[in-house]
Amino acid sequence: MKKKLLSALLSVAMVSALLTGCGSTATEETAATEPAAEETAEATEEVAEETTEAGDGKVYMLNFKPEIDQQWQDLAATYTEQTGVPVTVLTAADGQYATTLQAEMAKSEAPTIFNIGSSTDAQTWNDYTYDLKDSAIYNHLTDKSLAVEYDGKVAAVANCYECYGIIYNKTILEQYCTVDGAVVSSIDEINNFETLKAVCEDINGRVDEINEALGTELTEAFASSGLDSGSSWRFSGHLAGIALYYEFLEDGCDLVAGEATIDGTYLENFKNVWDLYTNTSAASKATLTSGTYNAEQEFGMGEAVFYQNGDWEYAAFDNAENGYLVTTDDIAMMPIYFGVDDAKEGLAVGTENHWAVNSQASQADIDATLAFLEWVISSDEGRDAITNQMGLSAPFDTFTGDFASNNKLAACANDYAAKGCTSVAWSFNATPNVDDWRAGVVDGMVSYTCNGGDWSDVEKAFVDGWAEQWALAHEE
């Protein structure tokens, strides 16, 4: 990216941030870890102070995942204590990574480690990605396809491998199967959209009766589906990704690179699943943009049976300090059954989390950054933080024995694969100008769900918005 382009992007980002601030609310799932706007501003100022005082060989990481901010802060402090190398971690607010990255990269003390989601990002940040082909993190990568290659270089390397679907409370669901009139007698029977829909409608329709029979405190079948900035990515990104996957599969194009135009072939399926979420939840449709709902908490306190999210949520239920009644022994994950090829559908498996190293940093900072990342994937402290504290599945050959993933939600992906199911590719990684396209889709969903609009609002944003953003993202 040329300096002129970066300046233009920054101007747009600043305007977007100001407009977003007028109507934004606290995040849903990550309110406890996401820094407030003023705290973020203070932190970025401190970055410049710390890095300039440090001299040669410093590391500045712009973290993509707010839910693991504290773990990265602790890990950075440990490394600095052991080596004397200053490591600063700044965590972007949920849904604001692109804006934050643009702002931070324009500073004299820019991040030395940043996140790339796809080859589209690699194109955007091509002038700022260091070739990682000779790095330890690339050499230890178990599957080289998990690297992002662009312009003849290894632009970024995946730092985790994740899956998403419908997390469910298997303890309550198993008990439900014993209740008089239950739609199914075994969880195994929930293997298609129609059955899932019937179960959810039954639970939601007679919550009081089920609570009396089981001694539970359910309020809904599905946890709330917030359309605020802290939660909407689950639907404009991950749920939309299932529709993209099946369309790309039908069109025969690369499942993660996508295509310039889409028809919205599976938008009716998208609508059916979305209606299921919102019709079997206690959340008021009119207030889904309010930011007052916390789906993770609803699920964690045993108020909901189902919750669309990913294996990164495992750490939340493995943390007694959260005060949740639901533990890791209670949870499992099933596919987001889409009514297309349900019998063979597995979980959605992939990643949009790739470490990139800033090639515009000094060589001393680049060397310090590469050494830090190597330490993260090879030291006991780093490996323990990644798998046991952050709950991630790391794609490096160094994560064995005590440092192999213990994430039971991630293990569900392997279970479905072992049954002969096909993992759904993360086709949303092909999204052009991801924040802008998703914002348009969310606007359509808000119109349809909250304001009594028509589903055609979503269709227009999905299809026409894709063509528009693709042209902008790929213009020469």
Q: Are 58 and 368 in contact (CB under 8 A)?
A: yes
Distance CA 390, CA 142 (A): 20
Q: Which pLDDT belongs to residue 248? A: 97
Specify whether 318 is located in the same domain as 243.
Answer: yes
Q: Is residue 406 part of a domain?
A: no
Tell whether 55 and 99 lie within a shared domain: yes
**What pLDDT was estimated at residue 52?**
39
Share of the chain above pLDDT 70, in %: 88
- Quote the pLDDT of residue 475: 79
Q: Is residue 378 part of a domain?
A: yes
**In terms of domains, do 192 and 227 share one?**
yes
354 C-beta neighbours (distance < 10 Å), count: 25
Q: What SS3 string covers 391-451?
A: CCCCCECCCCHHHCCCCHHHHHHHHHHHCCCEEEECHHHHCCCHHHHHHHHHHHHHHHHCC
Tokens of 246: 């099946």
Within the chain, which residues score under 50 in pLDDT? 1-45, 47-54
CATH assignment of the domain containing 460: 3.40.190.10
Helix (H, G, I), strand (E, B) or coil at 147: strand
Residue 22 and residue 112 in one domain: yes
Model confidence pLDDT, tens digit, residues 204-232: 999 999 999 999 999 999 999 999 999 99
Looking at the structure, tell me whether residues 60 and 126 fall in a common domain: yes
407, part of any domain: no
**Confidence (pLDDT) at 3:** 34
- Residue 419 resides in a domain: no
Q: Using DSSP, state whether 155 is helix, strand or coil.
A: strand
Residue 93 near residue 35, CB atoms below 8 Å: yes
Residue whose C-alpha is closest to residue 411's, from 331, 317, 305: 331
Identify whether residues 327 and 464 lie together within a single domain. yes
Query: What residues does 150 pair with on adjacent strands?
Result: 153
Q: Do 235 and 143 belong to one domain?
A: no
- Tell me the pLDDT tens digit for each residue of 457-469: 999 999 999 999 9
**Does residue 135 lie within any of the structural domains?**
yes
Residue 422, domain member (yes or no): no
Q: Which residues contact 456 (CB under 8 A, 6 or more apart)?
A: none
Residues 280 and 315 in one domain: yes
Query: Do residues 381 and 359 both lie within one domain?
Result: yes
Tally of CB atoms within 10 A around 41: 12
Domain identity same for 443 and 380? no
Is 411 within the bounds of a domain? no
Residue at 36 is within a domain: yes
| Structural domain containing residue 60 | 3-161+352-399
How far is residue 210's CA from residue 196's CA, in Å, rounded to a whole number?
A: 17
Tell me which residue of 169, 168, 167, 187 sits closest to 177, measured CA to CA: 187
Q: Are residues 54 and 139 in the same domain?
A: yes
- Do residues 5 and 272 make contact, with C-beta atoms less than 8 angstroms apart? no
Q: Looking at the 3D structure of the chain, how many domains does it have?
A: 2
Evaluate whether 109 touches 133 at the Cβ level (below 8 Å): no
Tell me: do 378 and 368 sit in the same domain: yes
Over residues 402-433, the pLDDT tens digits come to: 998 889 999 999 899 989 999 999 999 999 99
Residues recorded for the chain = 476
